Structure 1
Amino acid sequence: MVGQVLQRPWEKALAYLFLSFSGLIMVFPFIYMVASSLKTSSEVVQVPPQLFPSVLQLGNYIEVVNIVPLGTQLVNTVIVTALVVLGWVITSVLAGYAFARLEFPGRDLLFGAYLGTLMVPFAVLIVPMYRIMLLFGWVDQLTALIVPWLFTAYGTFLLRQFFMSIPKDLEEAALMDGASRWGVLFRIFLPLARPAMATLATFGFLYAWNSFLWPLIIISSPSKKVITQGLVDLQALYAVRVDLIMAGSTLAILPTLLIFLLAQRYFIEGIATAGLAGR
């Protein structure tokens, strides 16, 4: 119906103009942040403001990496995020397949209890989790940012719903041909589940990269902090240097933006497929 309504050229032009204007409004804060990160400290607070700098100050990025140290914290964030995403995908695939295809006593009850953990506020878990990390000697260690987050009920639910949408005939035919459960999982289910796994990996990346409260509680050494903590330290130490704060924010946001753009196709496919899986 939309295609029939926009048959006239002026209607299409008006629609494209509206969408372009809306997109520009949404992307303008990001453009202003990047432009401000390349200005001098006086140009950022200049009145009236100017969008683009007169001379590019690329040294802002070098300075902000050295003073926090944001470079080390960026590396820590990459390590933590990569391992958390890998853990999310592996554990969710195994658990999702088990809950979707394997018959064992108490399966539905266990799955319901696992999903129930999504309703528990994180504030309730802070004290027991900290006590556990203290018992293991993981306080102020990157291990405390990785191991507790290798499992996700949301990812298990997402993969379970996807696996349930796959016809059982494929699985039964493979089992009759002599394939094991592991063979069915790796040769049939995983190739079909790439969109769902890409969706889960995207969510896991955004979650781990932007995590702040738990690292703030468990990590105190500057050399072991993550990027979100580094931005807070940068703002506390150089509150008047808006150009440096903008440079640090740009470094923190760019990876998430790139990951989303690269995985956008799988992200949309995964959401659409997961939405149809429960039919």
Structure 2
Amino acid sequence: GLGDFGLEDSLFGSIFGRGRSSTRERRRAPDLRYDLELTLEEAFTGTEKTLEIPRQRTCTSCRGSGAKEGTSTICPVCNGTGQLVTETQSGIGFFRRISVCSKCGGSGKVVQEPCSLCKGKGVLEELHEVTVTIPAGIDTGYTLRLEGEGEHGDGDVTPGDLYVVVRVSQHPLFERRRDDLYISRDISIAQAALGARISVPAVDGEAYLDVPKGTQTGSLFRIRGRGMPRPGSRNRGDLYVIVKVVTPVDLTDEQKELLRRFQSIEDKRATS
């Protein structure tokens, strides 16, 4: 039936390279990569960035030949084929080696007078603006693919893709571990001994932590749901607070007296 013919034609086309899409897939402009650095705050909220991407396009004056009109000649080395063929003989027969002509670079033509617009390069440099939407919660290494925003395509050459690779810069307060954030917070001896409610910086404002009495330096506490957003989810990571008990300096006379009394009571408790 007609359907069987279509399948067979597609199968043989894929095997022998005669498929309709095979030529188009082979003729594709190069992909580009752009490294984008974000702050932790930008990664937290998500953002939109306009990027300037350096690209190349075929020169409009020489149409990619690199030569001023009428000044290109046939390459004398390869006679315009763009290839060099060498044959060697061994004990089992002849071997033919085909390589790109080093004189003309495979174009088959030699430039006598370079194009004044592209300076003989055959391409023009341009800055292409691309707007990219960064989702909330992404981390270093996250890659966005923008189809068709790579190197420019001409004629039957399709444009390449643009890959935006994200790097989230280090933050002066927070250390990130996947979706969780860690922060160090100082507390006084009195707060550690008696317990206290303290404020803790968070990326989206301020959080509060109830420090239990008797807290020691290095104690780790978790504030649920105040970390980074999880991409594709409504949930968030947690905020972890590492507590450091700070020994006071520059005490007043009254504070010194209170500490002496405190120490005296501790000594009596130890000997009783």
Greater strand content: 2
Greater helix content: 1
TM-score by length of 2: 0.22
Give the number of the structure with larger relative contact order, counting CA–CA contacts within 8 Å between residues 6 or more apart.
1
